[in-house]
Amino acid sequence: MRAIERAAIDSGDVTGLDLMERAGAGVVAAVFTHWPDMAKAPHRAVVLCGPGNNGGDGFVVAHHLRARGWRVDLFLYGRAEALPPDAKQMYLRWAAEGPVHLLSFPTPRAAEIADLCKCATPDSGSLPMLFVDALFGIGLSRPLQALGDIILHVDGVHGDDFQIVAIDVPSGLDADTGLYVSGEGIDTPEGFRADLTVTFHALKRGHVEGMGPKACGAVKVVDIGLSPWDAVHDRG
């Protein structure tokens, strides 16, 4: 995927910002296709962005949800000044629209974790919540122990009023093997489990092998202009 994206950018046909905008908009469209009720009225969302371009996609998702009247709480795991150029541009756009809650990198403080967990807790009688996992994409190579308390909390409140969408792959899952990077099983807090995973251009091996099917939930493949596909393709 990195080689395909780089070739498209180097050709001059598209920019990295274009691809990021298409990816984030595609995630929102896939969410509304998968959960039609979410398209009917504003809901709540917690968006967890990581320190790379997957986080950049998350800023775009937050922007589009807010534009539709959603209440959005956005958390950044990392330092804004260290974001890749395209992700940083999307961060700056979001920062002009709404607050950014910071999670210290690489080890969040206890108060920061508590703040995220409080936001990511359904309230009785409140709107259903969408949790957007824009933390790490296909390039993850290290376990997520520092975020174990957050992963455990999200897994614990996961239910009918708390849906999880992952961008590219659920964070913690290896896109090549379908195994958690930690080597642990799906019942341990070593990565997120999604109800819906939105990926781009084509399925990755990790979506269909190992723990991938159980961790990813339904998988939708969205065209972002790197192929002749015109539609959103589904698996499950």
CATH number where 69 lies: 3.40.50.10260
pLDDT > 60? residue 15: yes
pLDDT band of residue 143 (cuts 50, 70, 90) is confident
Q: Which residue has the higher pLDDT, 11 or 46?
A: 46
pLDDT exceeding 90 applies to what percent of the chain?
A: 73
Domain that holds residue 129: 2-235
Fill in the amino acid letter for 216.
Answer: C
Phi-psi region of 172 (alpha: psi -120 to 50; beta: other; left: phi over 0): left
Residue 187: per-residue pLDDT: 56
> How many domains in the chain?
1
pLDDT at 145: 86
Residues 161-173, mean pLDDT to the nearest whole number:
95
Residue 232 pLDDT class (50, 70, 90 cuts): very low
Overall pTM surpassing 0.85 (yes/no):
yes
What is the rounded average pLDDT of the residues 34-61? Answer: 96
Neighbours of 74 (CB within 10 A): 28
Q: How many CA atoms lie within 13 A of 171 on its CB side?
A: 31
Q: Amino acid identity, residue 187?
A: D
Among 11-20, 139-148, 225-234, the range scoring the smallest mean pLDDT is: 225-234
Mean pLDDT of all residues in 23-35 = 97
Of 45-49, 51-55, 204-208, 230-234, the range with the lowest mean pLDDT is 230-234
pLDDT at 201 over 90: no
pLDDT at 208: 95
pLDDT of residue 228: 47
Distance between CA atoms of 235 and 220, rounded to whole angstroms? Answer: 6
Mean pLDDT of 74-99: 96
Distance, in Å, from the CA atom of 156 to the CA atom of 137, rounded to the nearest integer, reads 23
Q: How confident is the model at residue 29 (pLDDT cuts 50, 70, 90)?
A: very high
Model confidence at 233, in pLDDT bands (50, 70, 90)? Answer: very low
Distance CA 208, CA 179 (A): 11
Mean pLDDT estimate for the chain:
89
pLDDT of residue 125: 65
Angle of CA points 55, 144, 186, to nearest 5°: 105
190 pLDDT more than 90:
no
- What is the residue whose two structure tokens read 């395909």? 4
pLDDT of residue 80: 96
